Amino acid sequence: MSTQAPETPSLFPHSSADFGDAPLLVGKHTFHSRLIVGTGKYPDFPTMRQAHIASGADCVTVALRRVDLKNPENNILNHIDLGRMTLLPNTAGCYTVEEAVQVGVMVQEMELGDLIKVEVIGDQKTLMPDPIGTVEATRKLTAMGFTCMSYCSDDIVLCKRLEEAGAAAVMPLGSPIGSGRGVLNPTNIRLIKDAASVPIIVDAGVGCASDCASAMELGVDGLLVNTAIASAKDPVKMAHAIRMATVAGRLSFQAGRMDKRLYASASTPLKDF
Amino acid sequence: MILTLNGEQRDDLAAATVADLLEELGLGTRPVAVMVNGEVVRRAEQAGHRLSDGDSVEVISLIGGG
């Protein structure tokens, strides 16, 4: 009997929907995967495309920047499966509400759809979001007709304010962008999820598959993962791992964990031996 | 005419309007947004928006990000 791994790995489970889970609903959008992936930091476009397939994701972030006029053919849209993926343009790099709104105008101009990831950075060194600017940008972009998915710090009051400002999903960070430190304050994330009536998606900070499973076990609705996949030594393999971990964490949350005990409790009956 | 195009001084462009400029740069068919002197020029206005000497033009498109 051959023990060799199959050349093309299975994409089962594709998402928790394979186990009867409801899809992720953000505004009018339905996502079958609870994993959203990014397009930054990949070693090359073919690797990114393979990793996207392996992730099972059907939503992908992109950013807006100056066109590279020396290589105008170098268009990232040629490397994204637009038949499967919904684009989630971000306002990354914006430090003010005005800049974020201007990105919104450009997203409309480019006819990229109504989704936007609202990101207003408040500190250059840590890239921690500006909570006040993020609320204001969410309010303005929502008024412009956007379905806002707002990236923020893991503060319950801030998350409530974002919801009031019109956010269709609130995306607290697990730890700073690209740090790969996992969810540093799981208690905060649980409190945020408990209070929210819009989807809570952990965005930023997960570093590996087990971080994703742990985050999903907190009960959040989804994850946005870029660096953990793109900066892995084998991004395609990590995308498979993170896809399966996201599903595993979701199922583990739904299944309901056993109570923790201080003392042992025999799995095998001790009597009648 | 001298333009600042994506941060670079250019005197080699013949375009008279924003729409002409996109055509000249080979960007007429892909999703781009254009800002002239910090203001977005909407698609409907691009053919009518004449460029002037000293204008700062930013042509924005999509890149990878998280």
Which residues in chain B come in under a pLDDT of 50? none
Grade residue A124 by pLDDT with cuts at 50, 70 and 90: very high
In this prediction, residue B46 carries a pLDDT of 92
Q: Give CA–CA dist B58/A78, Å, rounded.
A: 22
Q: Give CA–CA dist A57/A36, Å, rounded.
A: 6
**What is the residue-averaged pLDDT of chain A?**
94
CB-based contact, A65 to chain B, within 8 Å: yes
Grade residue A4 by pLDDT with cuts at 50, 70 and 90: confident
In this prediction, residue A2 carries a pLDDT of 56
In this prediction, residue A231 carries a pLDDT of 96
Q: Give CA–CA dist B59/B47, Å, rounded.
A: 15
- Indicate the pTM of the whole model: 0.92
User: Any idea which residue has 């079958």 for tokens?
Assistant: A32
Min Cα–Cα distance to chain A from B56, Å: 13
The rounded percent of chain B whose pLDDT value lies above 90 is 82
**What is the dihedral sign for C-alpha A96, A102, A103, A105?**
positive
Question: What count of other Cβ atoms lies within 10 Å of the Cβ of residue A224?
Answer: 27
Contacts B42 to A, Cβ<8 Å:
109
Min Cα–Cα distance to chain B from A100, Å: 13
Q: Is A117 a catalytic residue?
A: yes
Answer whether B62 sits within 8 Å of A63, measured CB to CB. Answer: yes
In this prediction, residue A69 carries a pLDDT of 84
In this prediction, residue A75 carries a pLDDT of 85
User: Any idea which residue has 């080699």 for tokens?
Assistant: B12
Q: Which of A28, A70, A117, A233 is catalytic?
A: A117
pLDDT at A105 over 70: yes
pLDDT at A68 over 90: no
